[in-house]
Amino acid sequence: MDRIALILIIIGALNWGLIGIFGFDLVAFISGVEFGGLNTFSRIIYALVGLAGLYSFSFLFREDEAQIE
């Protein structure tokens, strides 16, 4: 579960980096919508990235950093 969350967080970070630097929304491009538009697929991706971000807060409160796998 931790790896999946980290992968989704990385995807989200890369997408925001592309938006900030180039004005290019990769998720919107892949799902076939214009920047700022949403369809079901892009909403699912954005929701999963958001849930992964919320889940990652648990990483901050783990006693042993080696448990993040």
User: 16-34 pLDDT, tens per residue?
Assistant: 999 888 888 888 888 877 6
37: pLDDT strictly greater than 80: no
Q: How many folded domains does the chain comprise?
A: 1
Q: Measured between alpha carbons, how far apart are the two ends of the chain, in Å? A: 8
Q: Which domain holds residue 56?
A: 2-67
Q: Has this prediction a pTM greater than 0.85?
A: no
